[in-house]
Amino acid sequence: MNYSTLEKTGLRVSQLGFGCMRFVMGPNGQVDRSLAIPLLHRALEFGVNYFDTAVGYCNADSQRVLGEAFAQVPRDRLVLSTKNGFHEAPAEEWWSRLIESLTFLQTDHLDLYNFHGIGWDIFTRFLDGPDGKLKLMQKAKDQGLIRHICCSFHDSCDNLIKLIDTGVFDVITIQYNLLYRDLEKGLDRARETGTGIVVMGPVGGGRLGVDSDKIRKLTGNAAQSTPEAALRFVLANPGVNVALSGMSTTAMLEENVRITSRPPFTAAEIQSLQGEINRVKSSAGVYCTACGYCLPCPFGVDIPENFRVYNEHLVYGLTEQDLKAYSQIVHRAGDCAECGACLAKCPQKIPIPAMLRKIMATLDPQAGPLAATLTPHSALAADLLQTRLTLKNLEAEPAHPEIKIHLEQGASIANAPVDFGVLAPQGSSSGLLKIRLPDGIGSLDGTLEARAENRSAEIPFSRPFLIIPRGTPRRHRPQLTPADFNGSEAVFNANKYEILLHSDEERLHIEFDIQSPLEGLAHPPNLNGAVMELYVDLRLPPKLGAPGYEDGVEQFFLYLGDDTVKSKSDRSYDLTYRRIPTAAGIRLQISLPFANFRPPGSPLPKAIGLDCMFQVCNAAGQNIGHPTYGRRQGLWSNPKLFNRAFLV
Ligand code: SF4
Ligand code: SF4
């Protein structure tokens, strides 16, 4: 085992750290001790001495298991690191987590105590300052309960450098791997200042856990496997002290010990690896710098993210992982409606729609010879949606296509069919289509059937939309599935919600009608864990839909247990919030003045961004579902691109 010294702490730590978040779980929802405890003992025998855990890992059982495994081990053989994520909680609660960690870990002190998952924003708002949690950290250190103040970090490189330069932290745990190198300048700064760096996710959350010929070749066959290349790459950075691996089997442990006992890549090997990566990117990939100038796409396509995944596929050839990564992009290449609005904005002159077609043909397993999209574009009336219908030829032959559109839920086409003419090889064509909507539907669902010569494709689609009429509210029912309720058919059947929207000159009115017999919703004293998250983007085009929290973008938390509304930014708003108990559940009414987001008297926008997510909790406050308007993935955190709500 190779060791490294965490300079500010003087601690000698194994370069392979044991991440205690992936133990095998038993059927009772707790860690299977019969596997985890021998595994931890074996790691100690191999010389691993760095163990990283946190309050919530493994259903909040990870710390207990570590405590049980090491109860009889001399304390100086271990470096224990755990985390406290209760940044916003009252001081007593934060402190009780610390005492709980000491109890569970069966120790009188923690070597490294981390603020869990912070960035600059959390640091300045909740940790620093007269009432910040740093005071508690210092108190714990003064009392000998912790030895070193540390944090785990998720934010930009500039903010990592700012955090290092505060001088507060002895060790910082960050994400870093072959696929994610954004924080490299921060690693340099950590090295200059003697700040220890522990790397989580050295194998890219498992993406580098599979084999790839391309990666072996990139390393000039210096590594025998992708995980070996990944770990030796991370440890080659002189700013890195420990690479954590979440291990669950002895085989994984033995393989990691073998790899980390080898020397990391040399500087020359890293240089040649970098040269090879650049060569592949510039010869075959898309030279996208992720500057974001092309955003927002009026149809929501996350252009740089599609290019990033495609480039990674070309460079690293992790095909199975790349297909998965592509499928997890919220707005994929297939959503491109070929409007051309991005073309002039790209400084690299990338032919964006054509490249997106190529990406679709490469990474979308559902893409056939022909692809088609039907995308909401604007509202002409409360019951009339203007959409853009686009047909793409993904093959090298010209096509003369016919298209049939099957709409569900009573939606119907209100104008003449679009004539696509002849599609050039790998070309595309679009037209506008008006769709008449019955009241209540909140998603355009159906199938596009495209035929050309001897080729055909059937493309199912599901497009959430919202219309905000002046005057009478319009109802929207989101398309939910049992997956929105942790897979439970029973909870799904018992929970419905609708969104009613309207506006007047001054205000936007949003109403959620939640029909749920859940005990947690039916009995107000138990509602404390239940919250509706509402995301509003009222910026002016061209910023509408672009990522980030700026003026005009806000996330509200509507609490179901009392009349509290919190905003993510902590700004104050002239909003009203009412909760009305109903026979079937609860109705939440919120109204927001446009003037809070836009200069007074400015004309109303044609579209705004609107999303909501409802966290369903049971009476014990445990989350048992998160139905989300728009059925998109990744909405546990802020939506990167908002659903458009059209004002008429
Ligand atoms: S061409 Fe495609 S990606 Fe570009 S702005 Fe239009 S819809 Fe978006
Ligand atoms: S403008 Fe061009 S280079 Fe910049 S993110 Fe968009 S596609 Fe990439």
- In this prediction, residue 523 carries a pLDDT of 56
Classify residue 274: in a domain, yes or no. Answer: no
Mutational pocket test of ligand 1: of 339, 358, 428, 463, the residue with most ligand atoms within 8 Å of the beta carbon:
339
CA-proximal residue: ligand 2, atom 1 (nearest): 346
Q: Is 280 in the pocket of ligand 1 (CB under 6 A)?
A: no
Contact 618, 581 (CB under 8 A): no
Question: Is there a single domain that holds both residue 258 and residue 311?
Answer: no
Q: Is 242 in the pocket of ligand 1 (CB under 6 A)?
A: no
CATH label of the domain that carries residue 43: 3.20.20.100
- In this prediction, residue 532 carries a pLDDT of 81
What mean pLDDT is predicted for residues 550-559? 82
DSSP-derived letter for residue 335 is: G
Q: Is 336 in the pocket of ligand 2 (CB under 6 A)?
A: no
CA-proximal residue: ligand 2, atom 3 (nearest): 288
Q: What is the dihedral of CA 405, 406, 412, 416, to 10 degrees?
A: 20
Question: 304 alpha carbon to ligand 2 midpoint, in Å?
Answer: 6
Tell me the residue type at 561.
G
CA-proximal residue: ligand 1, atom 6 (nearest): 339
Tell me the residue type at 69.
A
Mean pLDDT of the chain: 86
Mutational pocket test of ligand 1: of 293, 294, 297, 305, the residue with most ligand atoms within 8 Å of the beta carbon:
297
Which residue, 278, 283, 285, is CA-closest to 304? 285
Number of domains within the chain: 4
Residue 371: is its pLDDT beyond 70?
A: yes
DSSP-derived letter for residue 610 is: E
- In this prediction, residue 639 carries a pLDDT of 42
Classify residue 394: in a domain, yes or no. Answer: yes
Classify residue 120: in a domain, yes or no. Answer: yes
Residue 241 sits at φ, ψ, to 5 deg, of -100, -40
- In this prediction, residue 640 carries a pLDDT of 43
Ligand nearest to the CA of 293: 2
Residue 172: is its pLDDT beyond 90?
A: yes
Q: Is 336 in the pocket of ligand 1 (CB under 6 A)?
A: yes
Question: Is there a single domain that holds both residue 482 and residue 460?
Answer: no
Report CA-CA distances (Å) from 561 to 117, 385, 508, 525: 27, 37, 23, 7
CA-proximal residue: ligand 1, atom 8 (nearest): 297
Question: Is there a single domain that holds both residue 213 and residue 338?
Answer: no
CATH label of the domain that carries residue 409: 2.60.40.10
Residue 495 contacts by C-beta under 8 Å, 6 or more apart in sequence?
480, 485, 514, 515, 516, 518, 616, 625, 627
Residue 631: is its pLDDT beyond 60?
A: no
Report CA-CA distances (Å) from 315 to 226, 350, 357: 13, 19, 19
Question: Is there a single domain that holds both residue 385 and residue 427?
Answer: yes
What mean pLDDT is predicted for residues 387-403? 90
What mean pLDDT is predicted for residues 161-170? 97
What mean pLDDT is predicted for residues 555-577? 86
The dihedral of CA 237, 242, 246, 247: what is its sign?
A: positive
Question: 353 alpha carbon to ligand 2 midpoint, in Å?
Answer: 12
β-strand 496-503 against 507-515: which pairing, if any? Answer: antiparallel
Ordered DSSP codes for 348-389: T---HHHHHHHHHHHH-TT--SEEEEEEEEEEEETTEEEEEE
Q: Given the CA of residue 375, which atom of ligand 1 is nearest to it?
A: 7
Ligand nearest to the CA of 353: 1
Ordered DSSP codes for 25-51: BPTTSSB-HHHHHHHHHHHHHTT--EE
Question: What is the extent of the structural domain holding 321?
Answer: 285-354
Q: Given the CA of residue 341, which atom of ligand 1 is nearest to it?
A: 5
Question: Is there a single domain that holds both residue 60 and residue 181?
Answer: yes
In angstroms, rounded to a whole number, what is the distance separating the alpha carbons of residues 571 and 637?
19
Classify residue 422: in a domain, yes or no. Answer: yes
Which residue, 138, 157, 155, 134, is CA-closest to 146? 138
CA-proximal residue: ligand 2, atom 2 (nearest): 346
Q: Is 360 in the pocket of ligand 1 (CB under 6 A)?
A: no
For 57, the token pair is: 């890992």
Q: Given the CA of residue 299, which atom of ligand 1 is nearest to it?
A: 7
What mean pLDDT is predicted for residues 89-105? 94
Question: Is there a single domain that holds both residue 471 and residue 482?
Answer: yes
Q: Given the CA of residue 289, which atom of ligand 2 is nearest to it?
A: 3
For 509, the token pair is: 């009115």
What mean pLDDT is predicted for residues 461-466? 86
Classify residue 109: in a domain, yes or no. Answer: yes
Question: Is there a single domain that holds both residue 302 and residue 238?
Answer: no
DSSP-derived letter for residue 334 is: G
Question: Is there a single domain that holds both residue 375 and residue 480?
Answer: no
Question: 82 alpha carbon to ligand 1 midpoint, in Å?
Answer: 45
Q: Pick the last residue of a domain from 448, 464, 480.
A: 464
Residue 281: is its pLDDT beyond 90?
A: no
Residue 634: is its pLDDT beyond 60?
A: no
pLDDT tier at 637 (50, 70, 90 boundaries)?
very low
pLDDT tens digits for range 257-271:
998 888 878 887 877
Q: Is 289 in the pocket of ligand 2 (CB under 6 A)?
A: yes
Q: Is 524 in the pocket of ligand 2 (CB under 6 A)?
A: no
Question: 103 alpha carbon to ligand 1 midpoint, in Å?
Answer: 55
Question: Is there a single domain that holds both residue 164 and residue 299?
Answer: no
Q: Report whether the peptide linkage leading into residue 264 is cis, meaning its omega lies within 30 degrees of zero.
A: no
In angstroms, rounded to a whole number, what is the distance separating the alpha carbons of residues 295 and 286?
17
DSSP-derived letter for residue 120 is: H
Question: 352 alpha carbon to ligand 2 midpoint, in Å?
Answer: 8
Question: Is there a single domain that holds both residue 255 and residue 125?
Answer: yes
Tell me the residue type at 58.
C
Q: Is 297 in the pocket of ligand 1 (CB under 6 A)?
A: yes
Question: Is there a single domain that holds both residue 345 and residue 401?
Answer: no
Contact 588, 576 (CB under 8 A): no
Q: Is 288 in the pocket of ligand 2 (CB under 6 A)?
A: yes
Q: How much is the CA Rg of the chain, to the nearest whole Å?
A: 27
- In this prediction, residue 280 carries a pLDDT of 65
- In this prediction, residue 34 carries a pLDDT of 94
CATH label of the domain that carries residue 551: 2.60.40.1190
Q: Given the CA of residue 337, which atom of ligand 1 is nearest to it?
A: 7
What mean pLDDT is predicted for residues 421-434? 90
Burial class (CB in 10 A: 0-12, 13-18, 19+), 276: middle
Residue 24 contacts by C-beta under 8 Å, 6 or more apart in sequence?
31, 32, 35, 36, 248, 249
Which among 16-20, 292-296, 615-619 has the top mean pLDDT?
A: 16-20
Q: Pick the last residue of a domain from 231, 262, 293.
A: 262
Classify residue 603: in a domain, yes or no. Answer: yes
Question: Is there a single domain that holds both residue 336 and residue 475?
Answer: no
Classify residue 568: in a domain, yes or no. Answer: yes
Classify residue 316: in a domain, yes or no. Answer: yes
Model pTM score:
0.64
For 502, the token pair is: 């309207």
Q: Pick the last residue of a domain from 464, 481, 506.
A: 464
